[in-house]
Amino acid sequence: MSHPLQRYLHANGSTTSSRSSGAPYALVTGSTGGMGEEWAYQLAGLGFNVIIQGRNRSKLEVVKKEILSRPASKGVDVKLLVTEATIWPNEPLTQGLTALMNDSSVRLTIVVNNLGINSVSYPRFETETREDVASIIIANSMFPAEVTRLTLGKLKQHQPSLLVTITSMAWTNPPPYLSPYCGTKGFDVSFSRSLYNEMWAEKQKVDVVCMAPGQVVSGMHEGEPGIMVPTSEAWVRAAITSLRSTWWTPRPAPFIYPWGPQRWSQAIADWLPSSFSSWIAIQMALSLREKYWKKMGIDGVQS
Ligand SMILES: NC(=O)c1ccc[n+]([C@@H]2O[C@H](COP(=O)([O-])OP(=O)(O)OC[C@H]3O[C@@H](n4cnc5c(N)ncnc54)[C@H](OP(=O)(O)O)[C@@H]3O)[C@@H](O)[C@H]2O)c1
């Protein structure tokens, strides 16, 4: 039976690429934890070779070992891209990715711009350091832009192909104490939407999709899973399913909330007066900040 990403596996002979040159590659950024690690496992499980990016080689080796140990992904090729994400200019990224893109055996058909970082302490904006603010902007905006700039040529060469960029539900109703993060997530949405239109204008079969998670259990958001807070494994499974094409939607939508309950809550929020939406965002941020303070033993009155 075909799976939701069959179109990008080029296994039905309907593409310009040759099957005999091996399975296509998928690149996932931030793949040593959370949703990125899940993207790597699930894409490899669907038959893609994978390029996994992370800043820590030994963590990447652990993910590679796990991929190769799973029966569903037996025999896939796993390449490592080791680079920090918060430096600019990012020579290890540019050089590493350029070398991979110049390798004619790497038939890239999927890129997942997953990596994103946040300040978990919910600081007042004026107390943040210049370095903290810059790190978030570089990792969440400049890093995916550079990854895309370096890979888009390959995605155009091996059509149909897919470019996913992960934003956040925090983009539409930005909580307080997260302004650099929310700003970059707005960048991700417009960046992705403009590229979607660019591919359409140029009649390219590069499907460009921006996906918005709400809270998902991961390194960024620890805690118990629930109906509104899926595990990373469940969220990525829903994300991949949401990319399935049908006869009435031959290409994925440009913007998707993959997790059903979060999608429905967003639909309700869209109908609420903005003052009420702001109140909800404030309450959520205050409660998460208090949890963080408790965990770190910080006295909230003095902070
Ligand atoms: N989780 C949520 O609730 C949530 C909600 C909305 C949107 N999102 C978005 O979903 C995406 C994935 O988030 P996630 O929660 O799965 O992430 P996560 O678990 O916090 O992060 C996992 C990956 O990010 C890497 N990373 C963290 N800090 C880094 C840094 N300074 N430099 C380089 N790499 C770094 C980690 O590397 P190491 O293993 O080396 O630390 C790991 O590979 C992000 O774009 C995020 O903004 C998440």
In a domain, 75, yes or no: yes
* Angle between the N-to-C axes of helices 143-157 and 91-102, in degrees from 0 to 180, rounded to the nearest 10: 10
Model pLDDT for residues 209-253, shown as the tens digit of each residue:
999 999 999 988 888 999 999 999 999 999 999 999 877 888 999
Give the Å distance between the CA of 56 and the centre of ligand 1.
Answer: 13
Domain count, the chain: 1
Indicate which atom in ligand 1 lies nearest the CA of residue 217. Answer: 1
In a domain, 1, yes or no: no
Ligand 1 interacting residues, C-beta cut-off 6 A: 30-36, 54-56, 59, 84-86, 114-117, 139, 166, 168, 213, 215-216, 218-221, 232
Task: Say which CATH number the domain at 251 has.
Answer: 3.40.50.720
Give the Å distance between the CA of 33 and the centre of ligand 1.
Answer: 7
Residue nearest to atom 18 of ligand 1 (CA): 219
Indicate which atom in ligand 1 lies nearest the CA of residue 181. Answer: 47
Give the Å distance between the CA of 200 and the centre of ligand 1.
Answer: 30
Give the Å distance between the CA of 189 and the centre of ligand 1.
Answer: 17
Indicate which atom in ligand 1 lies nearest the CA of residue 220. Answer: 20
Give the structural domain span for 217.
Answer: 6-267
pLDDT of residue 250: 84
pLDDT of residue 246: 78
In a domain, 285, yes or no: no
In a domain, 76, yes or no: yes
Q: Across the 303 residues of the chain, what is the mean pLDDT of every consecutive 10-residue run?
A: 89 44 91 98 98 98 98 96 98 98 97 95 95 98 98 97 98 96 98 98 98 95 93 98 86 96 95 94 94 86 55
Indicate which atom in ligand 1 lies nearest the CA of residue 169. Answer: 6
